[in-house]
Chains A and B, each alone.
Chain A
Amino acid sequence: MLKLIATRAILGLATLFAVSVLIFVCTQFLPGDVAAAVLQQSATKETLAAFRRELGLDVPAYIRFFDWLWRALHGDLGVALTNGRVIIDVIRPRFANTMFLAGYAAIISVPLSVGLGIVAAINEGRPIDRISNIITLMTISVPEFFVGYVLIAIFTVELGLFPSLATVDSDTGFFDRIYATTLPALTLTLLVAAHMLRMTRTSVLSVMSSPYIEMAFLKGLTRSRVVAHHALPNAAAPIITVVALNLAYLVVGVVVVEAVFTYPGIGQLMVDAVTKRDVPVIQACGLVFAAVFVGLNTIADILAILVNPRLKYRR
């Protein structure tokens, strides 16, 4: 089993490498190149060539790739084209902000949706399941910003409870931070929880239709014992996968929610960079998001291996 886990971890690293290649290759398609994009029409041939040398664009792409990757591994993500700031310094606090918001939302949404998903599954077809089906279907159908603005309309405009702009900086204390990010966290929670609830329900249901569940009922066990002892241990692996998938979704959903609440996270940074076509920043943000995403999926796979008795105890 150790071997399986190691294989999975190495696969995660390999994926991350492949992803970085992909990100790098994409940015090579930039019409003209970075130098032309920065200097625009004003550049003469000579200044363009000089600037290219300065940026190292005259060496082959693969060398630039390994150079970029090597530096990135050492925390050097380069310099922003538009304002010349060191990217890692810009990203670090914003990354922390994003993780704070995502973490806040995860702490509420994971227990809530897994719990309700299980309840819905074991009450399949009953009113509580149908109601939860309709509500979650509505919630997953609406865009993030709709939920965000409705929450603002209710909690800020009508009730005056929370601010509509989630402004935080490095000096903001923990509780002020919680207060400022409640609405964005709630927005994320509503969206992710609905997805997670539905997927949890499906996973539990597929276990509930196994013959060994029927056997457990035929042994005269109570419904709660059947669920706790026979259904849930087997639903654990799929539920873990569901949670990981949704946490990854959460980290991405953050991009739009940050825009709604103008929250200074890495998503906002990336959107700004795309608007200004600041390629090094785009690359850096893309890499960070990809690393979080791949990391979460790898951890989920490893956990799923750990809880699977077929893999734990070989023949």
Chain B
Amino acid sequence: MKIFGHKPPFTAWLGMTIVTVNLLVALFGPLLTPYGESQSAGGTWDPPSVAMWLGADQIGRDILTRLIYGARMTIGVALVTTVLSFLMGITTGFLAAVLGGWVDQLLSRLVDIILSIPLLIFALIILGVFGPTIPVLILTIAFLDSTRVFRLARALAMNLSVLEFVEAARLRGEGIWWIMRREILPNASAPLFSEFGLRFCFNFLFVAALSFLGLGIQPPYADWGGMVKDNAAAISFGIFAPIWPALAISLMTVGVNLVVDWLLSIEARPSGAQAEL
């Protein structure tokens, strides 16, 4: 079977399967679970059993049920964040490249300054000021992440806008929206698509890390990062309760990365290191 005119290797199939399963669980999760999201069905850190395949959490809730509900929250927040980030980043990045001049200077310097603070630190400052609610979380991460998208989009558009076909459109008298939408975007879509996968992973881990620190998605919603935090103490007793949600996070990002890695390898050319000597 071919996708994008190429035959995916085993790792790419694996990645696509993982991502698809995770998305399906996020969409239809509540139909699968035997328990409610915050229903206490056993004792603290009950071991895995037939009734609770992965055991119970710190207040006796079924971990598998929480994981399934958490998929929706964790993946959903990261996805919305990434989409927002791309909308902002691509628009501003393309504008900066096509308009040039002071618009470019202003946007680029602003992004330079924001990127000269680690994003996590910046996010902590903003969350500290506004408080950790889901809208604040999404807007903060989307805004911060859009600076990275801005850089890529601007660089891509810069490389394209010096090409003669874009100059030809300018000479014809086309407006900037037409140039951005019809001349630049279609030619930047492949790298932007790969980047979307990478940025999604980044945001997904970012949300999980903030939740793990207690500053992301707040109870009573189930989310994977928060589940790790809540069950952290169990690890000292040799109980794997915090490992399961951490594993779920890892699986999802590994899956996306495997797909992206394959997409990038399609575009890559062999380097001189591979020449026949």
Contact = CB atoms under 8 A, between A and B. Distances in A.
Interface of A: 15, 18-19, 22-23, 26-27, 29-31, 121-125, 133-134, 137-138, 140-146, 149-150, 152-153, 156-157, 164, 205-206, 208-210, 213-214, 217, 223, 248-249, 251-252, 255-256, 259-260, 270-271, 273-275, 277-279, 282-283, 285-286, 289-290, 293-294, 297
Interface string B255-277: 01110010000000111111101
Given A26-B129, A275-B215, A286 B117 contact: yes
Interface of B: 11, 112-114, 116-122, 124-131, 201, 205, 208-209, 212-215, 225, 228, 232, 235-236, 238, 240, 242-243, 246-247, 249-250, 253-254, 256-258, 261, 269-275, 277
22 contacts: A22-B113, A138-B254, A142-B249, A143-B205, A145-B228, A146-B228, A146-B250, A150-B246, A152-B236, A153-B235, A157-B235, A157-B236, A205-B271, A209-B269, A249-B118, A251-B118, A255-B124, A271-B214, A271-B215, A286-B125, A289-B121, A293-B118
Contacts of B261: 133, 137
Given A134-B11, A279-B129, A297-B116, 17 more contacts: A15-B116, A26-B126, A141-B253, A143-B205, A145-B228, A145-B242, A149-B243, A150-B243, A150-B246, A152-B236, A153-B240, A156-B236, A205-B273, A208-B273, A252-B120, A282-B125, A286-B124
Q: Which label, helix, strand, loop or mixed, suits the secondary structure of the B interface?
A: helix
Nearest to B118: A252
B272 A141 contact: no
Contact of B271 (A19, A124, A277, A283): A124
Contact of A275 (B117, B209, B214): B214
Contacts of B254: 137-138, 141-142
A138 B250 CA distance: 8
